[in-house]
Structure 1
Amino acid sequence: MITNHHFFMLGRFPTGIVLDGRQTGDLSVATFLLRTRTGVVIDEVDQFMSSAVDACSSEIVLDSRRNKDVPLLKLHEAVRGMSPGTVKELSPTLLHARYLTEFLLAALCSGDLRLRYYNGRSEASDQPQANSSMWHLAGSRDRRLICLLFPELDIPNEKEVPLELFATLNAIHPPDPARIGNEPAEYDTVPVHLDPDLQDAQNLLGRLLASRGADLLSTVRTELHTVLEERIPDAHQRSETIELLIVRVWLTELDRTLDVLRNATENLRSMGLPSAQDIAAKLGPGIGADVIRHGALGRGIYGYRVTGLDDPDKSAELTTQSLSGDPHTYTAQLGSIVALVLAGMERPVLGLSATAYFPEAVREHIRSRVKWWMTDAAEDSIRAKPHMLRNALNQPIQISGLPQHLKHSAITEMGRRLYEDVIHDELERLTEADEDRAHDAVVLNSYEHCRYMAIGIYGSGRYQDGKHRVCVAVPPDKYRRTDLQKRLPLPPGIIELTPDEFEDFPNRGEILIVPMARIARGLNIVIGIRSAITSVYLCTRPLALMTDPAELYASVNAAGLNAADTPSPAPVELLQQAREAAWARLHLIMRSAPGFVNTHRDLQKEIVAGMIIDMIQLAGRARRGGTDMTLHLVDHAFQEDSWQADLRTILRRIHQDWTPHVAQRMNDIYREALSTFLAYAGIDTDAGR
């Protein structure tokens, strides 16, 4: 029986199934396969886990001006007809959740509050696309807020926020009345004594959260101005601080309330209440809900987004994205813990991948012993070659790290120079040496970037000789494809290919311009059994963003599990260590300097490890049939070492942190691919062989 990753993890049978002689309903695909098959084989098992990370997130509309069929309202109506005990149990949480969500959306619609995007300590941008349409975490504006509350410390973007200031910010949140005595909150890090003005601010914010039937936003805002006037003399900065405090407290309170609501609705699922089942499913873990409810953090993470503010009265909508579960343990223990719970027995699971072992890669590293491997030991079969293309001002052309509005012209200029100086002559040489392999792949981060690259190559003076045809990847979805074609029409003669047509590329052209995500694990492009592609030009540095909730969650969960990686006779203490390490990683991400160059070194290593995984997979596209390949690193961001955040420097850090066992295992598994990147970083590739 064959299925895909997503359907295995998330699929359910829409009809009843006779299993072991009994009729079953709402059966998961994972349960069915583990019960009825004697073993499971997962191809690209590291991508399976990466998909599991994404599957840990789910979305639910909290309030809407466009759609009145909102889950919280439906649950409220359903609960009213239930027993007095159920009403008494659910009403406080449900009504508080409705107050928090409905009041927040109304305040955003009226302009009394704003969900704005901040890059570090700088002021927020007023561009619409940089504000409320993005995902917002409760603490995602903490650096700016701390700099406003403690201006005398003058914390630059290049440095982390001191932990005690982060703890002070957490302490300003009004106490949770459900906490017993002096029981510590899960986010407490160090003991904090609040200054008198911050204690007053805490009390005012507590009044706002428990308004007792009155709209206190304007009143509390005015009183906060008085309380914080001495600390923040500038009226404009004080207004900004107050808004940031209110938004942070509001979203933090909403986080906790949704946690309580999820647990409450879980208890109602057995009663067959559709509204409760809907909320429990969307706020609960996306995968392994019946097996591993929470990851190392011990609770979920929530992100919030508001849309439709161009017509707030009719279109505004507040959505939350919930992240919970444990994708790392789910994948590593699929044949053990997961199979025992779902099927009542263990099952052998064979995971296949070229890149499932890389301890720093938090989305791809499988936390299980590697049992077999086949080393790529062909010497000099993979080469990594840096390039420095220069623009008309003789400056190196860099794409990654540029503001979005400057990237388009830079990519176009890169396309002209790349074809003029490198690709044209290389294809001529390859045609003479081995015509079947005279094809190149030019790789960027998006379909849009691919079109700018094609425009640049077309504009090269040497392209006009007509010797080389350019193919550009386009989305498989017809509507996305049509939108791109309208916004960015291509010059005549350039061929568009959907992913399903990549196999035919050698018959259609010599240069394929394609997004990394589409080619790294895509279809093999071969003539006979040999790869048709010889050179791959990586034109933008493909970096994950810690502002993305899924990337953040993968880092947090992996950090917790790393802290509990050694067997112990005291499992409860081990779980506590994992929880503390996971919260420490979350705090680190929240207070880390913005941008890849300034971010914490541990996070840089994780990001680069994921990038190397993509590069190894990308190199594999050109190694089919035992052919050799060259990976050209074109974006100057790979080489720029002003802040010790270039690829060479971070690779050296990763290598230095490996234990002898890890270094040996990496060499055993990757051999030539690893040697290529270590040699690029200036590391002795013969060590450990």
Structure 2
Amino acid sequence: MSATPSRLAFQIACALAEEFFGFPDSDGRTEVPLESAALVAAGRLDLWRDWAKQPATTQELVGRFLRVRPNEVGSHRRFRDMARALRSDPDSSYALPPDVPDTDVRTVVARHGQRPLDLVARLLEEAERKYVQGRRPLPVAGPGRWGFGWRGESIVELPMTVKDARVEPIPLDTTAAIEEVTVTRVALEALAEKIAHHRGERPWQLEILAKLFTGLRADEDVPVRELLLKAGGIRLLNAPTGVGKSVLIRLLAIHLASAGIPVGIVVGRVDEAAETAEKIAEDLAVLGVDLRCTTLVSPRRLAEKAAQAADDGRWSRFDALGYGCALAASVIDGPQPGKDEPCTSLRPLVEPVDRKGRPAPRHACPYLGVCDRHRGLREAAAADIVVTNHHNLAHGIIPVPVLVDGVEVNRLPALEFLLRRSAVLLIDEVDFLQSSMFDAGARQLALAASGTAVELPLVQLDADRTMLLPGEDRDVVPPLTRTRFLADQFLNYVLEGDVWLADARPAAAGTSRPGDEGADSGWHLPGSRDDLVLKHLFGIDDGQAEPVPEAVYEQFNWLFPDSRGDRAPQLPQWLGDVADQLTLVVSNDTAQDHFREIRHRLHELLAERVERDDDRREVVNVLLVRTWLGALHQALTRLTYAVAAPGVEMPAARALAEQLGTVTQHQAIPYGQLGYLLFGFRVDRVDDPRRGGKLSVQALGGDPHTTIAQLGGTVALAAAGVERVVLGLSATAYFPGAAREHVRAGITYSMTDADQDAFTTLAGQAQDELSQTTIRIGGRSESGKTLAVRELGARLWDQHLDAHLRDLAANDEDRERCMLVGNSYRQAALLAAGIVSRCADPGWVAVVVPRSGPPPSIVLPEKVVTLTIDELESLPRKHERVKVCVAPLSLVARGLNILVPGDQRSALASVWVCVRPPTSITESAELFASVNAYALGTDESSVDPVGMWGMQRTRAFRRLFHILTSDPRFSRLSKELKAEAVAGMLVDMIQLAGRARRGGTPVRLYLVDGAFHDPRLGTDIPSLIRYYFANLSPAQQRGLSRVYGTTLTSFLDFAGIDKETM
């Protein structure tokens, strides 16, 4: 019987581990440590100190393996499960030791009689064949009628001219590897001077470059005269905002491309990518060189960006991005395709069946190979410089077949496309790319619904099972039926009031009270209220600093069926009875609902230990929710593995796998240190047409920290078969303690922020007129923030902004503007409303509103300027009278260049942080980042990579447990978690202030919210900065001083820290 891709991958991992770590046993057989094989499968050979010494041919084999390995094999838990299955697999090249119980297995025994790498090569041929079979191009639609849309709402009739049409793949040959690149300062300055000469303009790029190189330093404070960039891992260049990193990237790309080295550039947003490509193309044109630069944009964004270009009058960009759809003229019924055309999702209206009895799969549009929608993809495959954006690099897919080194592949990841084409990759705002991967990896879909019409992939998947053969269906049925049972019943229990996700129980089962509709809103992680169980059942106070004792940790985990280990700990009788009831509650063996009886039994078991009725109700609820969602987490994990088999043509399976992370784009390292997908659950209630609700799940996968650190190493090997030169640039790539942003690699080059008075941090709090107290927003209930934020805007104008703007008008008229930030569109609108109520002219105020969907329900005068984030850079040019711009912090902290018209200087003079940024450590993405960052520790390679990896997994679970058992309120978090939150907050503030530092202009950063300054609860910024800085190692303190200079001094001065005495 042919081995499955997962079984092949398991054997290949064992063979590679045999080559690297195998040893002879007493009988002369070769034993392979199971943990070492799991390390190889997880893509973590970077932890092995001798990995860099391996021959290039061996590293290429590992890269080929990681490219075709199903993600499930990279899960530590799943890998061990597969090892136990060797007992019933006589055809495997490895076996379990015969006299060792499954729970005690530590090694597997080789029984293949070959050299390990010869076995790897042979198995890889079969695995790669299956990989290509699973990604073969779709059949092409022919003449006749075809449907598209989720339910096939539209019908298109294709003419006879498309009979036997073929979609020609895009040819893509992998660029040869380059070990290192050296670029001198002299060469770049000569290039900048040459461009200026041909343009007949002042050499402003040369001036910027000269200042940048004058400040750049390598290790040990050595001035930089050349950039030496080596393949493997990532090199980091950290320099302040506004000193010319974008100019450096463009000149580097032109210089390298002129030397015959293809270059990829990655910037934050699609607009930045288009602008960067346009500037490079203009420079190439004036130089008169035959080089091509193009933008690689997701086809799904083209229509939106083309329309935006037309609105702005950028017709050359419109020509580059715009396209027409040939299918539109052939639609005979239903809506026209728009923005997300059915390029690969046409289905025959009368579905024929193949010889195996399966319905016909979806088909590709016959015009796919010549359509202008994909023109940019074809151009990128042959371009010398390709520019794309962060999201497309991390999660983009090439929807057109690609001929990769002569092999035709469908749905090639954009990451692989770029790494194969580019010998050098330049990434701007690399820390933001890493941070956004935590958010972009958080995908969601609906699991169950009641009383509302919702498309449910699980229901569709059940219907699509008719397409499967019995041998395939048997793997899908168990996890699918269990997932549907757990999801549907849990939603029923919540809507009936039997359990609840919020901190307070609903008024009564089946009833509602005002505000209950949102009571269960927000993402809920299994275990997010474990602190309550520990407090009442184990006597562990959530405020204690010491870690939970190991014995309690093991007993606690044994309570819940999904978290039990192989061996049961010693449990008191009553706790064992609780565990038995929790096992029974998620069982469906009797096909009857015993939920309420089990809940009553739990109340009886806990009556003596939790005497107060209200406390006991909460504890029992937490136990039931934790058990149910933990079981659902487990079932979903198994289901995503089951439906991801290559070659299974089920639309719902593809949607499920993509949404829940089985098909991740950073698949070389598919999981973080937890070793599995992290799921969050949410219930949204509805009242129309009848009372009901929807249960959704959000999945987080991948390992953004290691993926970025290994982008030119392990990731490039898996994508392109060779290591690549990768240079990441940012103003905040190095910031120890910032879980999302700190890049896990050493700084190669840095420019100290040495300009005196360039960055000043100031208190900007406003006083309430009646109480004469500082207006505080952070820490208030949501219901109390509306009036407070509006009042803050009004008082801020009276007490600060009016005088501040008058001073700017007198001394720096071109920069008579300031930016105010809140935490949401609504808060931005409320701040604007408060300011408008006090200022002389509403036309002085602009507020950022959403691109789509309803604007915040705040009434503003007609003269107030409203604009989207895409229009913000044109503010000084289009709205000259605006003096105050208000926006959500998350939108404006990065990438925006709001410049004085006709100048390179920032049009903003100050930034005002009006509301303390949220620090929701229990939100899925924040928790994931914190767990991963803490687990990695120093993340250095070791002679014992398995021991290092095991320590990281232990740290990950400890951190997860610490967060889940903590009170999520910021004031109640441990100082360690507060310091982590503050580190991330400081990064945001440095980046935000950078919007006013373009062209070397000085900036004043004002902290307005009274929550920044109130020391009573230990949440004030000065005391938290002091704690954060004091707990850094001396090396980290020196690193921050080296990188941030006067910016760091500004924060330390604000916190009352004398840096010289530390």
- Structure 2 length-normalised TM: 0.59
Deviations 1:78-119 (A, max 9, x none): 546655554544433332222211221222233333332469
* Residue in structure 2 matched with residue 594 of structure 1 by the alignment: 968
Residue 68 of structure 1 and its aligned partner are, at CA, apart by 7.3
Residue 526 of structure 1 and its aligned partner are, at CA, apart by 1.9
2:994 to 609, 615, 620: 620
| Range that drifts further, 599-608 or 155-164 | 155-164
Identity %: 35
| Range that drifts further, 233-242 or 158-167 | 158-167
Conserved 8 A contact 2:778-2:916: yes
| Range that drifts further, 104-113 or 6-15 | 104-113
Q: Which has the larger radius of gyration?
A: 2
Query: Residues 154 and 365 from structure 1, CA distance in 2 versus in 1: closer, same or farther, beyond 3 angstroms?
Result: closer
Residue 512 of structure 1 and its aligned partner are, at CA, apart by 1.5
1:536 to 893, 906, 911: 911
* Residue in structure 2 matched with residue 3 of structure 1 by the alignment: 388
* Residue in structure 1 matched with residue 887 of structure 2 by the alignment: 514
* Residue in structure 1 matched with residue 82 of structure 2 by the alignment: none
Deviations 1:367-388 (A, max 9, x none): 1121122222111111111134
Letter of the 2:440 counterpart: A
Match of 1:307, SS state, is: strand
Mapped to 1, the partners of 2:434 and 2:782 lie a distance apart of: 30
* Residue in structure 1 matched with residue 859 of structure 2 by the alignment: 489
Asked if 1:649 is matched to 2:1036, the reply is: no
Letter of the 1:257 counterpart: A
Mapped to 2, the partners of 1:3 and 1:356 lie a distance apart of: 20
Residue 404 of structure 1 and its aligned partner are, at CA, apart by 1.0
Letter of the 1:513 counterpart: V
Asked if 1:238 is matched to 2:616, the reply is: yes
* Residue in structure 2 matched with residue 173 of structure 1 by the alignment: 560
Conserved 8 A contact 2:449-2:692: yes
* Residue in structure 1 matched with residue 489 of structure 2 by the alignment: 103
Deviations 1:621-666 (A, max 9, x none): 1112222121111111111112333211121222222233222222
Mapped to 1, the partners of 2:586 and 2:742 lie a distance apart of: 42
Mapped to 1, the partners of 2:702 and 2:471 lie a distance apart of: 30
Query: Residues 236 and 432 from structure 1, CA distance in 2 versus in 1: closer, same or farther, beyond 3 angstroms?
Result: closer
1:444 to 810, 819, 822: 822
Deviations 1:315-337 (A, max 9, x none): 53221111121011111111111
Mapped to 1, the partners of 2:1039 and 2:545 lie a distance apart of: 35
1:142 to 514, 525, 530: 530
Conserved 8 A contact 2:415-2:665: no
Residue 166 of structure 1 and its aligned partner are, at CA, apart by 5.9
* Residue in structure 2 matched with residue 188 of structure 1 by the alignment: none
Mapped to 1, the partners of 2:684 and 2:651 lie a distance apart of: 26
* Residue in structure 2 matched with residue 548 of structure 1 by the alignment: 923
Mapped to 1, the partners of 2:920 and 2:1030 lie a distance apart of: 24
Match of 2:740, SS state, is: coil
Query: Residues 161 and 250 from structure 1, CA distance in 2 versus in 1: closer, same or farther, beyond 3 angstroms?
Result: farther
Mapped to 2, the partners of 1:286 and 1:370 lie a distance apart of: 32
* Residue in structure 1 matched with residue 833 of structure 2 by the alignment: 455
Residue 237 of structure 1 and its aligned partner are, at CA, apart by 4.0
Deviations 1:453-500 (A, max 9, x none): 12222333xx34x4x85323222424333xx2xx21113532223223
Query: Residues 681 and 175 from structure 1, CA distance in 2 versus in 1: closer, same or farther, beyond 3 angstroms?
Result: closer
Deviations 1:536-571 (A, max 9, x none): 221111133112100000000111111x62321111
1:383 to 757, 760, 773: 760
* Residue in structure 1 matched with residue 716 of structure 2 by the alignment: 339
Conserved 8 A contact 2:517-2:686: no
Conserved 8 A contact 2:921-2:968: no
Match of 2:785, SS state, is: helix
Query: Residues 605 and 286 from structure 1, CA distance in 2 versus in 1: closer, same or farther, beyond 3 angstroms?
Result: farther
Letter of the 1:323 counterpart: L
Conserved 8 A contact 1:675-1:685: yes
Mapped to 2, the partners of 1:68 and 1:459 lie a distance apart of: 43
Deviations 1:165-199 (A, max 9, x none): 6654433224779x65x2x7xxxxxx5x4333232
Match of 2:912, SS state, is: strand
Mapped to 1, the partners of 2:663 and 2:516 lie a distance apart of: 31
Mapped to 1, the partners of 2:460 and 2:626 lie a distance apart of: 27
Mapped to 2, the partners of 1:451 and 1:433 lie a distance apart of: 29
Query: Residues 222 and 161 from structure 1, CA distance in 2 versus in 1: closer, same or farther, beyond 3 angstroms?
Result: farther
Residue 205 of structure 1 and its aligned partner are, at CA, apart by 2.1
TM-align CA RMSD: 2.8
Residue segments in structure 1 that go unaligned for 5+ positions in a row: 185-190
Query: Residues 479 and 160 from structure 1, CA distance in 2 versus in 1: closer, same or farther, beyond 3 angstroms?
Result: farther
2:498 to 103, 112, 119: 112
Asked if 1:666 is matched to 2:1040, the reply is: yes
Asked if 1:561 is matched to 2:936, the reply is: yes
* Residue in structure 1 matched with residue 322 of structure 2 by the alignment: none
1:43 to 428, 442, 445: 428
Mapped to 2, the partners of 1:383 and 1:233 lie a distance apart of: 55
| Range that drifts further, 195-204 or 62-71 | 62-71
Query: Residues 216 and 620 from structure 1, CA distance in 2 versus in 1: closer, same or farther, beyond 3 angstroms?
Result: same
Match of 2:854, SS state, is: helix
Letter of the 1:94 counterpart: L
2:737 to 327, 337, 360: 360
Conserved 8 A contact 2:542-2:966: no
Mapped to 1, the partners of 2:545 and 2:782 lie a distance apart of: 24
Match of 1:371, SS state, is: strand
Conserved 8 A contact 1:359-1:365: yes
Aligned residues: 662
Deviations 1:133-174 (A, max 9, x none): 221111122233444546xx5947798895566654433224
Conserved 8 A contact 2:658-2:664: no
Mapped to 1, the partners of 2:664 and 2:562 lie a distance apart of: 33
Deviations 1:390-433 (A, max 9, x none): 21111111111111111122222222221112111122122112
Conserved 8 A contact 2:427-2:729: yes
Query: Residues 589 and 91 from structure 1, CA distance in 2 versus in 1: closer, same or farther, beyond 3 angstroms?
Result: same
Letter of the 2:811 counterpart: A
Match of 1:671, SS state, is: helix
Letter of the 1:395 counterpart: T
Asked if 1:503 is matched to 2:873, the reply is: yes
Deviations 1:53-99 (A, max 9, x none): 11222223222344575333344445466555545444333322222
Mapped to 1, the partners of 2:670 and 2:849 lie a distance apart of: 35
Conserved 8 A contact 2:671-2:702: yes
* Residue in structure 1 matched with residue 579 of structure 2 by the alignment: 202
* Residue in structure 2 matched with residue 187 of structure 1 by the alignment: none
Residue segments in structure 2 that go unaligned for 5+ positions in a row: 1-385, 506-511
Deviations 1:510-551 (A, max 9, x none): 112222122221422222222222122211111331121000
Mapped to 2, the partners of 1:584 and 1:156 lie a distance apart of: 15
Query: Residues 469 and 289 from structure 1, CA distance in 2 versus in 1: closer, same or farther, beyond 3 angstroms?
Result: closer
Conserved 8 A contact 2:578-2:602: yes
Mapped to 2, the partners of 1:414 and 1:578 lie a distance apart of: 45
Mapped to 2, the partners of 1:566 and 1:42 lie a distance apart of: 23
Asked if 1:296 is matched to 2:673, the reply is: yes
Conserved 8 A contact 1:160-1:592: no
Mapped to 1, the partners of 2:561 and 2:729 lie a distance apart of: 50
